[in-house]
A = this chain, B = another copy of it.
Amino acid sequence: MRIALAQINTTVGDLDGNVKKIIENIERARDTDADIVTFPELAICGYPPEDLLLKSGFLRDNYSALESVIQNSQNICVVVGFADAIKKDVFNAAAVIDDGHLVGIYHKAELPNYGVFDEKRYFLQGTECASLFGMNGVLFTVNICEDVWIQGSKAEQCSIDNRVDIVLNISASPFHAGKLNERRDILSSFARRTGAFVCYNNLIGGQDELVFDGGSLVFSPQGELIASGKRFEEDFLVVDINKNSKSLSEKNGGLKPIFLKPRDSHYQKPIIMSKAPELGRLDEVYKALVLGTRDYMAKNRFSKAVIGLSGGIDSSLTAVIAADALGSENVIGVTMPSQYTSNETRSDAEILAKNLNIRFLSIPIKPIFSAYTEALQEPFKEGNPGIEMENLQARIRGNILMALSNRFGWLVLTTGNKSETAVGYCTLYGDMAGGFAVIKDVPKVLVYELAEYVNQRGIIPESVVLRPPTAELRQNQKDEDSLPPYSILDPILQAYVEGDRSPDAIIAYGFNPKIVRDVVRMVDRSEYKRRQAPPGVKITPKAFGRDRRLPITNRYFPNNRLK
């Protein structure tokens, strides 16, 4: 049996566009003599459609879109995800289409409702195992994403009880660094436990905060990887599974399968089952950042991006990613020097722009800053100087970038990393102003590693990498005046933000107690800033945003109360 896994990049809500892509891939599957072609989870409507699923019109239109796919599925079996609305009940569903007829619908039984997932907000749990199909004496089952992640799930039991030969899983599994290994372990183990081939088709593409990395996988019943799709790009993976199955009638097992039209299995064109090359740790993160940025821009119909270049490492890395995502002709770098900007950082920004071959603008902010200082002189006769004039500089820069954005239709990419987003070392409406926060989920130490990684191409000036981090908002300012060194800050943040460890637990790892408590307090107090931040690419197991939902109004300080 020949199975094609069409690993496509869908767009949420773009029913026409998704259907067009699905039909093209059905044609390609036919040309490849495939018996079956699968598409990712909710491929018809895109994933995750969020509250679009509460609109009955959307659900209807999604069903019409499925109809178009059915009408274009002659002489092949198609497995495609859609939202199945039965009166008020909505299911995350897989349609099984055979030769132009809808022959079965499977409803996802395991609905993730943690981390970035809210599936129980939208979907009812599927309770029937209506997913058993027979073709040419081979028995296969269809299920969806989480169904294979939960040991002892209905999908697993169904596969075992009915001794199925092949499991077709359609997925939308979002990326974080290292996730592929988890997936491989889960699927290999599922294949062994069920004694079936597993064909796992994963979505690719960016959607707001999420990047789906593709990397579809096929495992043998022995748990060995047979084939794998490319990551961070569309792919069309074809496998031949020659199952010396007993005839279906000899099998025991309770459910009666739906029998599909027998196929002629003499394939015209032999295929070679491919395995995509392995990606290194920095490779995969970098590709996720590029794809996330490219898709956010394209799917929201922006072609050009503008970035404030400070001469620092964060904005430099962001610019390199943007140029790789959009082409250097579509990136504009802007330096906005103040009285505190050193000649070195200014010239580094310019060198970077030259190396990247991007357009470069210089707009000094000193006269604007003076105008504000003048206007605020009277009210500022009271009170004591704080950070207001530092923030003001960042906000002037934000305004300038937004003015360029409004005039020319360029999207502003912000440049803040995860470490500063965590502790609030950033200015709301200042450096946080923009449409997409490329490296929002990249801790500072990883920013350095990625800078080194891209510098195999020699783009970022060495002085940018070597200079101690500074916001340059006052004379001789250094990040370390306000924050612990990033080599200490980052692991504390990882334990607190991603690990939800208590301060005491983190102190027990050997960190300085005062530093730990200060960092935790800074993180907690910055929730209001993050709530107003633009989205950015999730690359860690827990990103800020839909992944981590803390109240702004929150008087809990860990471990404080009983001391």
Contact = CB atoms under 8 A, between A and B. Distances in A.
Count of this chain's copies in the oligomeric assembly: 2
Interface stretch (A388-396, A418-426, A459-467): A388-396
A310 B175 CA distance: 46
A222 interface: no
B371 A370 contact: yes
Interface string A485-512: 0000000000000001110110000000
Interface string A526-563: 00100111110000000000001111111111110110
B65 A561 contact: yes
Nearest to A405: B388
A202 to B, nearest CB: 19
A110 to B, nearest CB: 13
A51 interface: yes
Contact of A379 (B361, B548, B552, B561): B361
A562 B559 CA distance: 58
Interface residues of A, number: 98
Interface stretch (A12-20, A28-36, A235-243): A12-20
A118 interface: yes
Interface string A404-423: 10111000000000000000
Contact of A561 (B15, B378, B433): B15
A361 B385 CA distance: 19
Most buried by B among A16, A365, A375, A505: A375
A52 B376 contact: no
A122 B64 CA distance: 36
B391 A363 contact: no
Contacts of A557: 13
A64 B399 CA distance: 49
A403 interface: yes
Contact of A375 (B296, B365, B376): B365
Nearest to A54: B500
Nearest to A534: B532
A375 B271 CA distance: 62
The interface centre, meaning the residue of A58, A64, A361 with most chain B CB atoms within 10 A of its CB, is: A58
Interface string A337-357: 000000000000000000000
A500 B62 CA distance: 16
Contact of A406 (B364, B379, B391, B556): B391
A61 interface: yes
A550 B58 CA distance: 13
Contact of A207 (B368, B399, B504, B553): B553
Interface string A48-71: 111110111110010011000000
A559 B64 CA distance: 11
A64 B563 CA distance: 12
A383 B441 CA distance: 34
Contact of A391 (B49, B208, B365, B402): B402
Contacts of A400: 372, 375-376
B555 A11 contact: yes
Given A368-B375, A407-B386, A51 B548 contact: yes
Given A13-B551, A51-B549, A551-B52, A391 B403 contact: yes
A174 interface: no
Contact of A553 (B296, B372, B389, B406): B296
Interface of A: 11-17, 46, 48-52, 54-58, 61, 64-65, 113-114, 118, 120-121, 206-208, 295-296, 299-300, 361, 363-365, 367-368, 370-372, 374-376, 378-380, 382-389, 391-392, 395-396, 398-400, 402-404, 406-408, 428-429, 433, 435, 500-502, 504-505, 528, 531-535, 548-559, 561-562
25 contacts: A12-B554, A14-B555, A14-B556, A48-B551, A49-B551, A50-B551, A52-B554, A55-B502, A56-B502, A57-B558, A61-B558, A207-B553, A208-B553, A299-B553, A361-B379, A363-B378, A364-B375, A371-B371, A388-B404, A391-B403, A391-B406, A429-B429, A528-B534, A531-B534, A532-B534
Given A207-B551, A363-B379, A435-B528, 5 more contacts: A58-B556, A64-B562, A365-B375, A386-B406, A388-B406
